[in-house]
């Protein structure tokens, strides 16, 4: 039996199922806590920290923290919003993002968060890290310049034996996402599709279909990210 | 020896400077239009996935990005096995045509109303402080409004075909990513005045009649301003009609003899070579079989109306006949007649847009075709400023491994140098200082080509003006800077 507990978000009282992840509880109440690495149903990684909230005065990742009774959650405060904006800026300066010619533009969660938090110029210096493109597999292009290391692909895209197609290589500054060359050869259409959809940015791309969706019909052309959740509250 | 340098040139897109070399008697011995910026798009598309090219490379230019967008897409059509030009679905080809003629319309309108009309309306010798688009707006408010609205109309077309007014994504390899909805069509056909096609045809015609009126009064000046013989090159439709989107390559010499006879542009490098000269980042293309000295050619409105046999729309064809009669059917080599030719094309574009908007193919859903994939393709288009070449080769992983772009202004490099030379000789022989009329004359000669120098070197920037007069031993005798 699930236990119902009381909690507050930004001072407003709610009830929810104990143990449920904060990002998901909030979403049910029509409150948007942004996520990049999180994917419902997949083991949380807590790696991007864009979902940072304050719980009883302490910073926690909303995607890894289960709900408990009497939690006082802060979400929509100037302090938290600025931290999220800073994280978005960090992700931008760490990779090489040239949105104008990126086919994920308009469908990209990172770009959409940049708009949502009104990022103009990042407060951090650009890294200009040199990363290459891996175009050697038949169905996918891996544009490593755009990877934000959310690990969704590693966690989600597996073959029948449960082996991951994707893995991280290198360490620290030189960490890179890589696609297993041998496995990639036999990757199914379905998995290729899933991989591209799982990637929140324009790093994993299906070959030869770029720009097929016209401007105006892309995910974030008319609504900003999070509005689908927030409209439950209206 | 003396040297005059003019840099950068105003009301021209991009950045360049002019040097005029004088001998000890102050006679012009040599002129050079230097283009000193370098951008290197050909290099940085290498390694990119090929389908990115139409979106990426169009960023060469904010004035006619659609031309780059479409030329790249046409080259990629060949690579994805959709053939050239007519290989696409009717909707694919016609949507792209609509985008292109919309762009032609807005670019030609911009050039006429904003860039060259100040010279016609206010006089070539008027004070530069008023001889600009603001001066036009103050003195001829109705015309200024027309210019703004015609440009806007063209951009509305671009937005509905490419998705955005500037730097859209409409053309994709093998076709287009959207059709034209009934609402979009009706907006363009029957929008509230003046933003509807009927008004646009009317205004395009009145701009042309205005120019002809000006010409009748200033015939001597216009005819004698910069006249020099040259070859002319453009695409023409297979039957010889003016076609700005697709065709075969044709070139004629100054007497109208065919020197390139309707060849397939996939093989352009069999016919065209590009020369590099140390003093400019802009290359000098020429027809191989005629050599560097004799093989250079002009492109753009003047060239197009010299190569084509007729214009496939009634109002423009009538005007074409009047225009051709002026040179007894022979090629027109009067530099300033480019403005006349441009306005005939403006009218033609409006007529083509009107036909396309009434074509039900634009509402169909069959948007993309693909066939047997190849690894190399060439796409040509008649951009507002002239023939534009895009050539790509890809590797087995779908990455671009080679790109070559010959943009309109590069094709016009030698002609612009020739025009400057002509004008400089006429105006500057025996002069010790740069006067306002001299400076203007050089600018006007360059501006007739509507050059986009940033594109031509794949460089970024705007083009103001600076003139230097340098003595025999390299000393600066006079220096003008705007
Ligand atoms: S992945 Fe997103 S943020 Fe990065 S370039 Fe593409 S659209 Fe921009
Ligand atoms: S490739 Fe995409 S899904 Fe995978 S870690 Fe990078 S950003 Fe995340």
Put simply, the answer to whether A211 touches B47 (Cβ < 8 Å) is no
CA B193 to ligand 1 center in whole angstroms: 40
Could you count the other beta carbons within 10 Å of the beta carbon of residue B4?
29
Q: Please tell me which of the candidates B59, B164, B177 has its beta carbon nearest to residue A212.
A: B177
- What's the gap in Å between A30 CA and the centre of ligand 2? 27
Do A211 and B177 make contact, defined as CB atoms within 8 angstroms? yes
Residue A215 falls within a domain, yes or no? Answer: no
- The reply to whether residue A141 touches residue B398, judged by beta carbons under 8 angstroms, is yes
Q: Is residue B269 part of a domain?
A: no
- Helices B413-428, B436-447: crossing angle, 10 deg rounding: 160
Same domain, B110 and B174: yes
B382 is a domain residue = no
The residue ranges of chain B whose pLDDT is under 50 are 1, 11, 13, 454-463
R_g (Cα) of chain A, nearest Å: 19
**DSSP single-letter state for residue B257:** -
Q: How far is CA B395 from CA A133, A178, B49, in A?
A: 13, 21, 10
Average pLDDT of every residue of chain B:
86
With a 6 A CB cut-off, is A199 part of the ligand 2 pocket?
yes
Measured between CA atoms, how close is B395 to chain A, in angstroms?
10
E strands of B65-121, at which residues?
Answer: none
Report how many domains make up chain B.
Answer: 2
Residue at which a domain ends, from B365, B386, B401: B365
User: For tokens 């000295």, what's the residue?
Assistant: B293
Cβ of residue A221 closer than 8 Å to a chain B Cβ: no
A130 interface with B at CB cutoff 8 Å: no
Point out the domain boundary residue: B338, B365, B392.
B365
Q: Quick one: B136 and B226 in the same domain?
A: yes
Ligand 2 contact via A204 beta carbon (within 6 Å)? yes
Q: If we measure between CA atoms, which residue out of A200, A154, A156 comes closest to residue A178?
A: A154
Do you find a cis peptide bond into B194, omega within 30 degrees of 0? yes
- Give the max Cα distance, chain A: 53
HSE at residue B458, side-chain half, CA atoms within 13 A, is: 18
Asked whether residue A91 falls in the same domain as residue A11, the answer is no
Residue A89 and residue A67 share a domain: no
Greatest Cα pair distance, chain B, in angstroms, is 70
- CB-based contact A215 B168, cutoff 8 Å: yes
| H-helix or E-strand spanning residue B476 | strand B476-481
**What is the nearest CA distance from B207 to chain A, expressed in angstroms?**
34
Are B327 and B215 in a shared domain? yes
Q: Which of B365, B384, B416 is the last residue of a domain?
A: B365
pLDDT score recorded for residue B462:
35
Please tell me the predicted confidence (pLDDT) of residue B461.
31
**Three-state SS for A15?**
strand
Q: Whose CA is closest to B415, among B2, B11, B31? A: B31
Instruction: Locate the chain B residue with the closest alpha carbon to A133.
Output: B47
User: Is residue A126 lining ligand 1, measured as CB closer than 6 Å?
Assistant: no
Contact status, residue B60 vs residue B54, Cβ threshold 8 Å: no
CA distance B90 to chain A (A): 18
Nearest to A95 by CA among A135, A133, A54, A127: A127
Contact across the interface for A100 and B49, Cβ inside 8 Å: no
Considering only CA atoms, which residue is closest to atom 3 of ligand 2? A199
Range of the domain at A99: 85-206
> Is residue A98 assigned to a domain?
yes
Q: Is the CB of A148 under 6 A from ligand 2?
A: yes
Residue B173: list chain A partners with CB under 8 A: 208
So what's the pLDDT on residue A68?
97
Interface membership of A211 toward B (CB under 8 Å): yes
Cβ atoms within 10 A of the Cβ of B102, count?
Answer: 26
- Beta-carbon contacts of B287 under 8 Å, excluding residues fewer than 6 positions away, are B231, B233, B251, B259, B260, B271, B272, B273, B295, B296, B297
Q: Residue B195 belongs to what domain range? A: 41-231+302-365
Contact A107, A99 (CB under 8 A): no
Find the closest chain B residue to A218 by CA distance. B163
Domain assignment present for B389: no
Residue B7 belongs to some domain of the structure: yes
pLDDT for B39 equals 57
Q: Tell me which ligand sits closest to the C-alpha of residue A150.
A: 2
Q: Which residues of chain A lie closer than 8 angstroms to B48, CB-CB?
A: 101, 133
Which stretches in chain A have pLDDT values below 50? none
A91 lines ligand 2 (CB under 6 A): no
Asked if A101 and B398 come within 8 Å (Cβ–Cβ), the reply is no
∠ CA B70-B75-B79, nearest 5°, is 135
Can you tell me the distance from the alpha carbon of B32 to that of B36, in angstroms, rounded to the nearest whole number? 12
Q: Mapping DSSP to helix (H, G, I), strand (E, B) and coil, where does residue A212 land?
A: coil
Chain centroid offset of residue A114 CA? 12
Are A48 and A113 contained in the same domain? Answer: no
User: What distances in angstroms separate CA B461 from CA A234, B311, B458, one per listed residue?
Assistant: 47, 35, 10
What is the three-class DSSP state of B18? strand
Burial of B33 (0-12, 13-18, 19+ CB in 10 A): buried
Q: Which residues of B fall within a CB distance of 8 Å from A133?
A: 47-49, 399
Residue A95 and residue A67 share a domain: no
Per residue, the 3-state secondary structure of B434-473, as one string, reads CCHHHHHHHHHHHHCCCCEHHHHCCCCCEECCEEEEECCC
Q: Where are the beta strands (DSSP E) in A65-151?
A: 71-74, 133-134, 140-143
The end-to-end CA distance of chain B, in Å, is 25
Please state the pTM of the whole predicted model. Answer: 0.90
Same domain as A101, residue A68: no
Q: Is A212 left (phi over 0), alpha (psi -120 to 50) or beta?
A: alpha
Q: For A211, which of B51, B59, B80 is closest by C-beta distance? A: B51
Domain co-membership, B338 together with B444: no
ipTM: 0.92
Residue B3 has what pLDDT? 64
Q: Are residues B25 and B45 in the same domain?
A: no
pLDDT given for residue B35 in this prediction: 63
Residue B375 placed within a domain: no
DSSP for B270-331, please give it.
HHEEEE--TT-SS-EEEEGGGHHHH--EE-SHHHHHHH-SB-SSHHHHHHHHHHHHHTTTSP
């Amino acid at each position: 039996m699930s236990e119902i507990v009381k909690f507050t978000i930004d001072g407003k009282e709610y009830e929810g199922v104990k143990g449920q992840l904060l990002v998901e509880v909030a979403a049910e109440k029509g409150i948007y806590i942004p996520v990049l690495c999180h994917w419902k149903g997949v083991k949380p990684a807590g790696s991007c920290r864009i979902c940072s909230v304050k719980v009883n005065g302490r910073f926690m990742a909303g995607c890894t923290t289960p709900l408990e009774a009497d939690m006082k959650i802060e979400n929509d405060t100037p302090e938290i919003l600025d931290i999220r904006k800073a994280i978005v800026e960090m992700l931008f300066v760490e990779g090489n993002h040239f949105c104008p010619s990126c086919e994920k533009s308009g469908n990209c969660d990172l770009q959409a968060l940049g708009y949502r938090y009104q990022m103009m110029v990042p407060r951090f210096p650009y890294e200009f890290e040199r990363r290459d493109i891996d175009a050697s597999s038949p169905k996918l292009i891996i544009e490593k310049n755009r990877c934000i290391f959310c690990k969704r692909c590693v966690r989600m895209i597996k073959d029948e034996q449960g082996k991951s197609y994707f893995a991280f290589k290198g360490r620290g500054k030189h960490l890179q996402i890589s696609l297993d060359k041998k496995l990639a050869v036999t990757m199914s259409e379905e998995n290729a599709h899933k991989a591209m959809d799982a990637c929140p940015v324009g790093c994993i791309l299906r070959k030869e279909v770029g720009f097929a969706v016209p401007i105006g019909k892309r995910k974030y052309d008319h609504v900003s990210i999070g509005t689908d959740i927030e409209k439950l509250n209206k | 020896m003396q040297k005059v340098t003019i840099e950068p040139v105003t009301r021209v897109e991009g950045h360049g400077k002019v040097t005029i070399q004088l001998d000890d008697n102050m006679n012009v011995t040599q002129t050079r239009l230097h283009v000193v910026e370098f951008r290197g798009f050909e290099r940085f598309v290498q390694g990119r996935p090929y389908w990115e090219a139409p979106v990426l490379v169009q960023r060469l230019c904010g004035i006619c990005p659609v031309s780059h967008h479409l030329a790249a897409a046409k080259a990629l059509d060949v690579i994805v096995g959709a053939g050239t030009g007519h290989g696409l679905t009717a909707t694919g080809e016609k949507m792209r045509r609509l985008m292109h003629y919309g762009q032609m319309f807005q670019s030609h309108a911009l050039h006429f109303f904003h860039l060259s009309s100040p010279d016609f309306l206010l006089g070539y010798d008027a004070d530069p402080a008023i001889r600009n688009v603001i001066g036009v707006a103050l003195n001829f408010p109705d015309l200024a409004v027309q210019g703004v609205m015609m440009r806007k109309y063209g951009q509305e077309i671009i937005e509905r075909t490419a998705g955005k007014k500037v730097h859209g994504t409409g053309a994709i390899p093998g076709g287009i990513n959207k059709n034209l909805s009934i609402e979009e069509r009706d907006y363009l056909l029957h929008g509230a005045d003046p933003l509807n096609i009927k008004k646009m045809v009317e205004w395009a015609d009145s701009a042309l009649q205005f120019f002809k009126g000006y010409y009748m009064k200033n015939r001597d000046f216009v005819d004698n301003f910069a006249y020099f013989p040259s070859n002319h090159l453009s695409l023409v439709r297979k039957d010889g009609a003016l076609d700005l989107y697709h065709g075969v390559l044709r070139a004629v010499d100054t007497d109208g003899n065919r020197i390139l006879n309707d060849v397939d542009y996939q093989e352009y490098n069999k016919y065209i070579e590009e020369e590099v000269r140390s003093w400019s980042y802009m290359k000098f293309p020429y027809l191989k079989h005629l050599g560097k000295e004799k093989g250079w050619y002009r492109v753009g409105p003047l060239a197009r109306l010299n190569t084509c046999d007729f214009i496939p729309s009634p109002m423009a064809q009538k005007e074409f006949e009047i225009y051709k009669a002026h040179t007894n059917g022979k090629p027109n080599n009067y530099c300033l007649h480019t403005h006349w030719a441009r306005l005939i094309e403006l009218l033609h574009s409006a007529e083509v847009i009107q036909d396309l908007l009434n074509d039900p193919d634009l509402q169909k859903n069959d948007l993309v075709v693909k066939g047997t994939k190849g690894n190399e393709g060439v796409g040509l288009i008649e951009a507002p400023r002239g023939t534009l070449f895009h050539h790509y080769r890809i590797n087995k992983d779908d990455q671009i491994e080679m790109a070559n772009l010959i943009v309109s202004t590069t094709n016009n490099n030698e002609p612009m140098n020739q025009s400057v030379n002509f004008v400089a000789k006429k105006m500057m022989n025996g002069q010790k200082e740069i006067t306002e009329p001299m400076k203007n004359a050089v600018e006007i000669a360059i501006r007739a080509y509507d050059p986009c120098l940033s594109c031509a070197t794949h460089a970024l920037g705007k083009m103001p003006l600076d003139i230097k007069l340098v003595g025999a031993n390299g000393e600066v005798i006079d220096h003008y800077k705007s």
